[in-house]
Each structure stands twice: as C-alpha cells, then as structure tokens.
C-alpha cells in the first residue's frame, strides 16, 4: 500500500493546463511594464514586458505570476508569459488521475483535451521539447499519476505504455517538475530519482 498521499494543492475542477488559451488569458490579470537592460531605446520606452497573474484560489499558494520581458514586442512577451504560466500550473496544482479512486465524493470530470493527450502520448517516446504546446499538459498528467503512485514511475509506466526511463526523462527535462517528484518520493521514504 502507498500510504498517505502527500498533501498538495488540488485544482478545482478541470486543471487550468487544459483550459483554452482564451480561457486562461481571461482568468489571468495582465500587467505590462517597461524594463531596463539590453534591447535598445524601444525596450526602455515602451511597456513591452508582460506579467500574468493567476489567482489559484488555494490559500497556501495564492497568486501565481509568470513574466516575460526579453522581447521588444509586448505580444511576444505575453505569449511567452502564458507558456511559462502553463508550466507553473503544471507543477503547482494537482488534479485527479484515472489510475486511482476519486479524491473526493464529487463526480470526476476529465476534459476532452486531457483524454486526447493521454491517448496521443500513450506509447510515444515522451520526448517533448520546451516549445511543444502539449508539454505542460502531458507533464501535468504524468505528475498527477506520479503523485497518486507515490512518485514511483514503474507503477505508471504500464498505463503510459512507456519505459520508466522515458517517464523519468520527461520529468527531468523540467527542473521544477523533477524537484516535485523527488519531494513526493521523500514523503514516501523513497530515495530520490537521479
């Protein structure tokens, strides 16, 4: 038996990583700001930096902020900040995994996007680069499964039809996700993944 699952913040309803771009943007507050540093006069005189803030609705987390200031165009910075927000949400919030019984008495609803991602990446090499728009969602699903499995990739590998090393490599490719899995493993008195 896995024992008591590590207490982590749970997304209310469908995980925000599976919301459409429009829905996520609508739920985030956008703040723009000019920044000093490299980029020439245009960067210093216009509010090209984008800061997106998402209210998690979870007291112990509060607001989550993603920023992008490296581009000279606000639109590009906003897109970059949104991508970074998806990664932050993927690591910060957990949601139900179909591999375990329900977390509570509510009906479990999996989004069509979540089900499609599971089907599409099941049996795949699990090599997704940082620019792949599906990576935060796949990472969310794998982290949910690992959380429910006590951080043991060998328990979720059959479901993903992937080797343990492929799953570990996916999680290792995003440092905050890798830290989270090792925290989960530590909670269950397991050695860290290397």
The confidence score (pLDDT) of residue 72 equals 84
Percent with pLDDT over 70 in the chain:
88
Q: Which residues contact 188 (CB under 8 A, 6 or more apart)?
A: 2, 3, 6, 150, 151
What CATH topology corresponds to 17-92?
A: Double Stranded RNA Binding Domain (3.30.160)
Instruction: Record the tokens describing residue 61, joined without a space.
Output: 């987390």
3-state secondary structure of 94: strand
pLDDT of 16:
94
Q: Backbone phi, then psi, for 63, in 5-degree steps?
A: -85, 145
Query: What does the domain layout of the chain look like in residue ranges?
Result: 17-92, 96-187
Q: CA-to-CA distance for 171 and 161, rounded, in angstroms?
A: 16
Helix axis angle for 164-172 and 175-187, nearest 10°, is: 120
**Mean pLDDT score of the chain, rounded to an integer?**
88
pLDDT above 60 for 1: no
Instruction: Choose between 103 and 151: higher pLDDT.
Output: 151
- pLDDT for position 156: 96
User: What are the residues whose beta carbons fall under 8 Å from the beta carbon of 138, sequence distance 6 or more?
Assistant: 117, 121, 126, 128, 170
Q: How far is residue 22's CA from residue 59's CA, in Å, rounded to a whole number?
A: 25
For residue 118, the surrounding DSSP H or E stretch is: helix 112-121
Whether the CB-CB separation of 59 and 69 falls below 8 Å is answered with no
Q: What is the pTM of this model?
A: 0.88
């Amino acid at each position: 038996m896995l024992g008591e699952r590590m207490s982590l913040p749970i997304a209310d309803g469908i995980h925000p990583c599976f919301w459409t771009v429009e829905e996520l943007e609508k739920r985030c507050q956008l703040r723009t700001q000019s920044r000093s540093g490299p980029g020439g006069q245009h960067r210093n005189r216009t509010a090209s930096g984008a800061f997106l803030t998402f209210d998690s609705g979870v007291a112990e987390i509060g607001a989550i902020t993603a920023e992008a200031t490296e581009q000279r165009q606000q639109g590009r910075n906003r897109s970059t900040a949104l991508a970074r927000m998806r990664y932050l949400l993927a690591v910060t919030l957990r949601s139900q995994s179909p591999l375990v019984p329900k977390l509570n008495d509510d009906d479990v609803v999996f989004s069509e996007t979540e089900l499609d991602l599971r089907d599409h990446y099941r049996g795949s090499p699990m090599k997704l680069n940082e620019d792949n728009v599906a990576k935060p969602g796949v990472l969310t699903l794998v982290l949910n499964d690992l959380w429910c499995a006590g951080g043991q990739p060998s328990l979720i590998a059959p479901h993903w039809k992937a080797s343990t090393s492929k799953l570990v490599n996916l999680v290792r490719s995003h440092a905050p996700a890798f830290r989270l899995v090792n925290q989960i493993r530590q909670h269950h008195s397991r050695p860290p993944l290397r």
